[in-house]
Structures are given as structure tokens and as C-alpha cells.
Chains A and B, each alone.
Chain A
Amino acid sequence: MARAAVPGGLSARRAWREATLVERRPETDSAVTLVLDVDGWPGHLPGQHVDVRLTAPDGYTATRSYSVSAPERGDRVELTVQRVPDGEVSTFLADGLAVGDAVRVRGPVGGWFVWRTGQPGPVLLVAGGSGVVPLMAILRARGPGAAPFRLVYSVRGPDDVIYRDELAVLAATDGVDVRLVHTRRAPDVDKRPVGRLRESDLAAPGWTGEDAPTCYVCGPTGFVEGAADLLVALGHAADRIRTERFGPSGP
């Protein structure tokens, strides 16, 4: 990948910038979307993340990575933050940061777990919990008439679906398929027995290894390992499976 392929060039990506909260949008009981205004934002690719740094009055700093949830739109950067129990950064961002407050962000960073407009071939997105966030940026970046996209999204229960209304709209779009996988509680109309992601959730006509979709898997580490193994068992080539693990926490 050439240098020019990463928005903003180099020094631009390294800089810590002031990011002011302009809007907060609750998504679920525990997830909130933060719309930040970042002066001079160099732009980003769907799937990239930013590092967010908080500084306490005594100088103590904490830095965490958050995926960007929406495609490039000027100086606006949207993050969706899932509150992690005892997470000092996520709880502050989810509950303490008010509109008008500022944090520092660095990025965009990461050039591997990205989807580029015009990238050929179908796209299979596999999300566990808040792993849906970077995948939503990819899904939102899909243009009309593009190759088919499929999102398989594993959640504990119906109340945990981030972007629920928008996903319902997207699911009715030509070329987009959304399948929700409920691990603990499912709506009555869902005939699938609750439980962890399994092969039958990923197997579908048009989505076999031979159809050669590029697969993006994001979620808690255990989920990602399991989903990637299932994809390989279904015949997907390992070099078409991109993974991003966000650690032990999550559903």
C-alpha cells in the first residue's frame, strides 16, 4: 500500500488533535455514539480507528483505541463507545463527556483492517457485540450498485443491537443482507435457537468460500477466534479473512 493510500499522510496522522464533542446519540443502554469535530481532520478509511487520550487535572493520562463508525465527512469523526465495566476511559466518554467538551485524538491509524471504495468483490462482515462499530463504517460506505455486502451480527439479546433502526433500513436495501444472531435471548419470531455463532449462521447461498468474499471479523477476542475458525472450516481462504480483536471485554 502506497503512502498516498492512507488519508492525511504521515505527520498529520501522528499529531494529537483537539476533538470537541458536538453530538451524543444513545444507541443501547450501554453504547453511545459520539460525534466529534476535529479541526483539520485528514480523513479516514472505513475500518480505521483513532487513539483517544484523556488527561486528568493532575496530569495522569489514559489512552484507548476506538473504531470510527462512519465514513469520512469533513471534520466530523463518529465513534461508538461501549461502556466497559470499570473502564475508566469508556465510562468517562459514555457518561462524563458533555457536548462542548474536548478530548485529544490521534489518527486515523491502522491500514490493515480497512475497506477501500472500489475494492472488488463481495464483503462479508462478522460482528460480535460492539465489534460492529468498524464494520458499520464499512457498511455505510457501500455505494448503490456495489458488490453485495452481508453483515452477520452476534448480540446477547434484542436490546443490545447497536444501530438497530438503521440496520433495518439497510437490510431492505438491494445487495445488503443483515442477519442477527442472538446468543442468550431472541425475539419470538426468530426461529434460530439462541446460542453462540455457528456454521449455519455464516453459510448462505452466494457467501461460500468459492464466492470469495473479503471477510472482516471484529469483536471480543474469543468471538473473533471462533468466527475465523468457522470461516476457514467453511472454505474461506485465510488470506481473505481480516480480523480485529478488541480484547477480553464485551459480550
Chain B
Amino acid sequence: MTIPDGPGPTAAYDGNLMAGPLSELFALDVTVAVVRCRGCGADAEVATLRVYGPEPGLVGRCPGCDDVLVRVVRTPDAVWLDLGGVTSLQVPAPKR
């Protein structure tokens, strides 16, 4: 996958578009989760990431510094998830 360097074109989707693909992997809706960017330390809801795609997969960038945070690729027989750009993922969960 080729990922453009620096700020991409302004025309992009956002993390809302990741809800479907991520629902294959996570038990809870991850678009309301907060990720912390490894690059700038900012927190952002997954729904607010700048997302490029949809083919060959979705690339979610930090709304603050534009670093790549999340990549999701669906192949015919697998889902690839790269969370290399985030240091933590905080998912709202039912009270225990």
C-alpha cells in the first residue's frame, strides 16, 4: 500500500467509515473509542480520524498531526489491522 507523505488531499472520509470493517474485529463499536497518537500525543475519537480509502483499505490519520494511526484492509479471507500509530485505545464499555 502506498501512503502519501505529509498532509494528503483535503478530500477524505472520516473514521465513521471504519465502523463496518472494525465491527468484524471488535465486540464494541470502536468508532467511539479514543486513540492516542504516537506522534503528537493527541487524543481523538476514532470517528474523527481523517480517513483515506476505501481501496485497497482504509487509512486513518491523526486530525492533529496527520500521522497514520490506523489501517484496516479486508482481503477475501482476512482482516488486516495495523494500529502502529497509536499508543493506546480506550473503548467505552458497560459498567462491570
Interface residues of A (CB under 8 A from B): 1-4, 6, 10, 13-14, 49-51, 63-65, 106-107, 109-113, 220-222, 225, 242-248
Measured CA separation A1–B54 after assembly (Å): 27
Measured CA separation A49–B31 after assembly (Å): 12
Interface residues of B (CB under 8 A from A): 9-17, 19-20, 23-24, 27-29, 31-32, 45-48, 54, 92-95
Question: Which secondary structure dominates where chain A touches chain B?
Answer: mixed
Instruction: State the total of A-B contacts with C-beta under 8 angstroms.
Output: 84
Contact of A245 among B13, B19, B20, B27 (CB under 8 A): B13
Are B19 and A111 touching (Cβ within 8 A)? yes
Given A111-B19, A112-B16, also A1-B92 (CB < 8 A): yes
Measured CA separation A46–B48 after assembly (Å): 18
Q: Which residue of chain A lies nearest to B94 when distances are taken between CB atoms in the complex?
A: A2
Q: How far is the CB of A1 from chain B (nearest CB, A)?
A: 5
Are B20 and A51 touching (Cβ within 8 A)? yes
Are B23 and A14 touching (Cβ within 8 A)? yes
Going nearest first, the 3 A-B pairs with the smallest beta carbon separation are A248-B11, A112-B47, A109-B19
For the A-B complex with A1-B32, A49-B20 known, give 10 more contacts whose Cβ atoms are closer than 8 Å.
A1-B29, A2-B92, A2-B94, A51-B20, A65-B20, A110-B31, A111-B29, A221-B10, A225-B10, A243-B48
